[in-house]
Amino acid sequence: MLMALAMVMLQTATAQTDRPERENLEKELRKLNMATMAVKGLYVDEVDEHKLVEDAIRGMLEKLDPHSAYTTPKETKAMTEPLNGSFEGIGVQFNMVEDTLVVIQPVVNGPSEKVGIVAGDRIVMVNDTAIAGVKMSKEEIMRRLRGPKGTIADLRIIRPGIKDLLTFKVKRDKIPVHSIDATYMLQPGIGYIRIGSFSATTHAEFLESMQKLKAQGMTDLVLDLQENGGGYLQAAAELANEFLEQGDLIVYTDGRTTSRRDYRADGNGTFRDGRIVVLVDQFTASAAEIVTGAVQDHDRGMVVGRRTFGKGLVQRPIDLPDGSMVRLTIAHYYTPSGRCIQKPYEKGDKKGYDKDLLNRLNSGELTNVDSIHFADSLKYETLKKHRTVYGGGGIMPDYFIPLDTTRYTKYHRELAAKSVIIQQNLRYVDNNRKALKKTYQDFDTFKAQYEIPQTLVDAIVKEGEKQNIKPKDDEEMQRTLPYLKLQLKALVARDLWDMSEYFSIINTDSEAVKKALQLLQEN
């Protein structure tokens, strides 16, 4: 593995450095290899050569920037599957109720739906191995359910109301992983799309969502990139292209050994006229910041929320022979106005870098706009209206929404942390699915009429008490109830329908969404 990485380095050096530098690099690589062999051959105790090499690679990368990293084969596969847009398996959304897998929904037209598996089914055995009642980890269960396309998963299922175990043979297939979390109409004329990450399929998913919303009369768009940690740069460029005119610069990258590369709009975007509001927060990063920066710099739309994360470094993946990967930073990316939005960092100080968001909270930046200060040297201008924007770390929104630190009481946080809320919600939906579906045959009726029953709240309180989770006093309980009930209603909607319905309910209390609607209505 170490030699494979060395070969990549030598190839790069051959192409980009003169002979003395190349010879010096070869000398240092020989030294590294000799040290590895010495430890392997002479150290007093037995050593794991594989781990020795991995530790050496990690040690090198840890002294660089915070985003250069090494991942094992298992970690690499887990990281790339969502970005590639699919994995191979049986196609169910599930959750664990105590130690039993309960199907929330089978993937539409997926392998499980095709053989008759339905919401509420409990998968208790996979290929003659019990997965219920044996304290098996969620990761191990997923490993058994997934497998190469075309292979068979022999499932034993308990279905409520059916006495005997049911048997299903499911032929595994490619299962799509969607990067768009929600698509729905906020109100007449205004559509909403929430993107969770930027993957290989994001652009195609976005076009599908836009077609759906336009058919419902959408003329303006709220694009929610809150908590979007990024993904593929190319996917971000393709999305921004939908909003911009021909020749508009979307983003450019530039590095020490990589020449500048410009990404420009081709003029064929499908939403070049409608108004846009982009929602961001402190977790909006990387590819999501590219889209946000392009919209803001071209005065194409308004940005609402809090200053974004500030990841402006481009990583090149270097695949190693055993399936592991090195992701090495090779360039910075810049918004159209020339802003490098990478926040400051000290090489090798990953802990300090990771504390940035906590420092923002402690300084008041996340809760008070007056706590945010930029040096004059970080001033830039937007390209059409010449408004002042700032570089030096993230995208500062046009309209600030403070973090609501009062929404979650300590009692609520503890209930959530111990999974009391999600477990009781799943149990409630499991026991009442048929009755709920019969009463609320469409989501609009559910949203308008459904109220969380007191019995569900009581079950949560009772289970909390069993785990020694109690409100400090009645006042804390009363402050907890409104958002708890809203969250529960959204979760019930998710389990009966999907994530679009979840966000349709949870966003009724979102200050960022309310501000977006206000801006679109005023203008």
Pairing status of strand 122-126 against strand 129-130: antiparallel
C-alpha 436/C-alpha 304 separation (Å) is: 36
Which residues, including other chains, have CB under 8 Å from residue 20's CB and lie 6 or more apart?
none
Q: What are the tokens at 338?
A: 């020339």
* Euclidean distance between CA atoms 296 and 247, whole angstroms: 16
CA distance 414 to 411: 5
Q: Which of 119, 147, 118, 144 is closest to 132 using CA atoms?
A: 144
Of 103, 111, 121, nearest to 147 by C-alpha is 111
Contact in structure between 353 and 345 (CB atoms under 8 Å): yes
- Please check whether residue 194 is in contact with residue 224, taking contact to mean a CB–CB distance below 8 angstroms: yes
Burial class from Cβ neighbours inside 10 Å (0-12, 13-18, 19+) for residue 333 reads buried
- The identity of residue 328, as a single letter, is L
In the chain, the amino acid numbered 164 is D
Whether 297 and 335 have beta carbons less than 8 Å apart is answered as yes
Query: Annotated catalytic sites, by residue?
Result: 286, 297, 311
